[in-house]
């Protein structure tokens, strides 16, 4: 069971978007951006509030890649693997991050809940390839060396 504050927050968000089926995606997007994940209990709660069948709400939430029922790390690192980045060796960047963070294709978030690593098809910043983003901040022209420095900086911020 989640704390009451979660439900209050959800109520607030629903009020912003209106009590309609078309609000489902914007509402769960806002919940996700606030908590950095979509608590399954809240999805059921939202579904009931918007008068949507729970199974349907679940089907929507699982269809879109952006929604995650798992809690994400404080820093969500997204490595672009669009055409331009791929051609400029984004796989090396991803490999370096996997290694440095001890993550893999199956394990996305570090145990200390600090980093989540994802790939994204294109960030539309192809002129700066290869790119990655940390939360919403874009880091251009990455190299494995710059990755190491970036992680060091982020870890420093945590202390």
Partner 1 sequence: MILMENASLEEVREKAVEKMKAENCRILICAGTGCLAGGSEKIYSKLKEMADGIEGVSLEFGPEAAHVGVHQSGCHGFCEMGPLVRIEPWNYLYIKVKEEDCEEIFQKTILKGEPVERLMYTQNDTVYPQQESIPFYAKQTRRVLKNCGHINSEDINEYIAIGGYKALSKALFEMKSDEIIEEVTQANLRGRGGGGFQTGYKWKQVARQKETIRYVVCNGDEGDPGAFMDRSVMEGDPHKMLEGMIIAGYAVGAQEGYIYVRAEYPLAIKRLKIAIAQAEEYGILGDNILGSSYSFHIHINRGAGAFVCGEGSALTASIEGERGMPRTKPPRTVEQGLFAKPTVLNNVETYANVAMIIENGFEWYRKLGTETSPGTKAFALTGSVKNTGLIEVPMGTTLREIVFDIGGGLIDDAPFKAVQIGGPSGGCLVTQNLDVKLDFDSLKKLGAMIGSGGLVVMDEGTCMVEVARFFMNFTQNESCGKCVPCREGTKRMLEILERITSGKGELSDLDMLEELGAAITATALCGLGKSAALPVLSTLKNFREEYVAHVTEKRCQTGTCQAMRKYIINPELCKGCSKCARNCPVNAISGKIKEPYVIDTKTCIKCGACMDNCPFHAIYIAN
Distance, in Å, from the CA atom of 154 to the CA atom of 75, rounded to the nearest integer, reads 8
Q: Is 120 in the site for partner 1 (CB under 8 A)?
A: yes
Do you know the residue count of the chain?
159
Total residues interacting with partner 1, rule: CB under 8 A: 38
| Binding test (CB under 8 A) with partner 1, winner from 2, 7, 9, 26 | 26
Query: Which region, judged by CB under 8 A, interacts with partner 1, from 5-13, 107-115, 127-135, 149-157?
Result: 127-135
Q: How far is the CB of 112 from partner 1 (least distance, A)?
A: 26
| Binding test (CB under 8 A) with partner 1, winner from 101, 129, 150, 151 | 129
Tokens 């679940």, residue?
A: 58
Contacts (CB under 8 A) with partner 1, residues 60-119: 60, 63-67, 81-84, 86-87
Q: How far is the CB of 8 from partner 1 (least distance, A)?
A: 23
**Residues found near partner 1 in the complex (CB under 8 A):** 20-26, 29, 52, 59-60, 63-67, 81-84, 86-87, 120-129, 131, 136-140
């Amino acid at each position: 069971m989640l704390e009451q504050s979660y439900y209050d927050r959800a109520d607030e968000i629903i009020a912003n978007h209106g009590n309609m089926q078309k609000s489902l995606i914007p509402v769960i997007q806002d919940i996700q951006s606030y908590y950095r994940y979509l608590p399954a209990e809240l999805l059921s709660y939202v579904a009931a509030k918007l008068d949507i069948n729970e199974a349907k709400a679940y089907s929507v939430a699982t269809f879109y890649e952006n929604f995650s029922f798992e809690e994400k790390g404080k820093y969500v690192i997204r490595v672009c693997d669009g055409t331009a980045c791929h051609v400029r060796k984004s796989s090396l960047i991803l490999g370096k991050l996997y290694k440095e963070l001890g993550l893999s294709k199956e394990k996305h978030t570090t145990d200390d809940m600090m980093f989540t690593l994802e790939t994204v098809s294109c960030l539309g910043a192809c002129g700066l390839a290869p790119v990655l983003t940390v939360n919403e901040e874009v880091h251009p022209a990455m190299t494995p060396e710059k990755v190491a420095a970036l992680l060091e900086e982020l870890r420093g911020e945590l202390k």
